[in-house]
Chains A and B, each alone.
Chain A
Amino acid sequence: MFQYEKALQYPVKIARPNAKLAKAIISQLGGPNGETGAALRYLNQRYTMPLREVQGILTDIGTEEQLHRCYLLGVKHSARHLSVSASSANLCGLFRYLDRADLVFCYNATLGCSASAAHFDVQRIQFHLPVHPMQPEMS
């Protein structure tokens, strides 16, 4: 189902490292509005989606979110070069965050809020279609 390519759709190149911005970007990985949650939700919603073309869309956009995760992880990887000796309050905060493996999925790098599995949970999609094209015949 999934293959990988050894290239991104667009390169991650950090021209001017910015700890404050990095913190905001990295916060998009976990949490209720993060890319990880989005990817998992879309890819799980496929199974209760009764319309096949929308199953396709969910697969497409779920896959796309995985790419977005790769961008964020690329940014995080670049941020490891940011030196504490440049010593702004922001840089220290970022490093406190980066040093903690348990906060990889943190959604608020400033407060140190970890993501929880509840953020990745999937609500069953309810559809109210009068006649369903893929609904099995009731006998």
Chain B
Amino acid sequence: MAEMRLRSLDTMEKAELLRQVQMHQFAMHDLGLYLDTHPTDETALEHFMQHRAACEQASEVYVRRFGALKMEQVGAENGWAAWSNTPFPWEKEAN
């Protein structure tokens, strides 16, 4: 199952793959707000963990294929420009 997901992440287009990351981040954030006031809700925690795992997997593939989303993900192999010269979200090329 995890392998299938990984394979499909590898064939996704850039925007589609980024949307996966964004989707899981959004779900994590929302569940996080709920868990702030319901810290012992195990079902919510389980959902959080599922989205966290999926988010990590998607962003790992995204960073490997299309470059870093945050500074700490910059790898030596692509050079600094692969981080600093890619468009910001408010630029047309980023969307």
Main secondary structure of the interface of B (DSSP, over half): helix
Kindly identify, within residues 59 to 108 of chain A, every residue whose CB is under 8 Å from any CB belonging to chain B: 60-61, 64, 70, 73-74, 77-78
Interface string of B28-66 (1 = CB under 8 A from A): 010011001101000000000000000000000000000
Partner of A61, one of B33, B68, B90: B33
CB of A124 within 8 A of chain B? no
The answer to the question of B79 belonging to the interface, with a C-beta cut-off of 8 Å to chain A, is no
Residues of A within 8 A of B32 (CB): 60
B78 contacts the other chain (Cβ, under 8 Å)? no
For A, the interface residue count at a CB cutoff of 8 angstroms equals 23
Question: Interface range on chain B: under 10, 10 to 19, 20 to 34, or 35 or more?
Answer: 20 to 34
> Is there contact, CB below 8 Å, between A6 and B36?
no
Q: Is A127 an interface residue (CB 8 A)?
A: no
Interface pair B89/A11, CB less than 8 Å apart:
yes
Q: For the complex, is B9 an interface residue (Cβ under 8 Å from A)?
A: no
Residues of A within 8 A of B (CB): 3-13, 53-54, 56-57, 60-61, 64, 70, 73-74, 77-78
6 closest residue pairs by CB, A with B: A74-B90, A77-B90, A57-B36, A8-B89, A11-B95, A5-B70
Pull 28 A–B residue pairs with CB atoms less than 8 Å apart, ordered by A.
A3-B72, A4-B70, A5-B70, A6-B68, A6-B83, A6-B88, A6-B89, A7-B21, A7-B22, A7-B69, A9-B29, A11-B15, A11-B19, A11-B22, A11-B89, A11-B94, A12-B89, A12-B90, A12-B95, A57-B33, A57-B36, A57-B37, A60-B29, A60-B32, A60-B36, A74-B89, A77-B90, A78-B90
